[in-house]
Amino acid sequence: MAKPSYKRAQRVADQIRMEVADILTRKVKDPRVALVTVTDVALSPDLRVARVYVTSLQKESEGHTLEGLRKALGFIRTELGQRVPLRFTPELIFCWDHSRDRGMRIDSLLDSLSCGGVKDQDESDA
Residue 79, pLDDT score = 95
**What is the rounded CA–CA span in Å between residue 82 and residue 23?**
11
Residue 52: inside a domain, yes or no? yes
Does the residue 34 lie in any domain? yes
Task: Tell me the CA distances in angstroms from 65 to 11, 56, 73, 101, one per residue in order.
Answer: 27, 8, 12, 17
- pLDDT one-digit tens code per residue, 47-77: 999 999 998 887 667 888 899 999 999 999 9
Cα 45 → chain centroid: 19
Please give the pLDDT value at position 95: 93
Instruction: Report if residue 122 sits inside a domain.
Output: no
| Domain assignment of residue 110, yes or no | no
Provide the CATH number for the domain around residue 56.
Answer: 3.30.300.20
Domain presence at residue 119: no
Residue 66 within any structural domain of the chain: yes
Q: How many domains does the chain have?
A: 1
Residue 80 contacts residue 92 (beta carbons within 8 Å): yes
- pLDDT per position as a tens digit, 69-121: 999 999 999 999 999 999 999 999 999 987 777 777 887 888 888 776 555 44
Categorize the per-residue pLDDT at 19 as very low, low, confident or very high, splitting at 50, 70 and 90.
Answer: very high
Judging by beta carbons within 10 Å of its beta carbon (0-12, 13-18, 19+), is residue 115 exposed, middle or buried? Answer: exposed
- What is the pTM (predicted TM-score) of this model? 0.76
Quote the domain boundaries for residue 46: 8-98
Residue 42 inside a domain? The answer is: yes
Does the residue 82 lie in any domain? yes
**What 3-state DSSP class applies to 88?**
coil
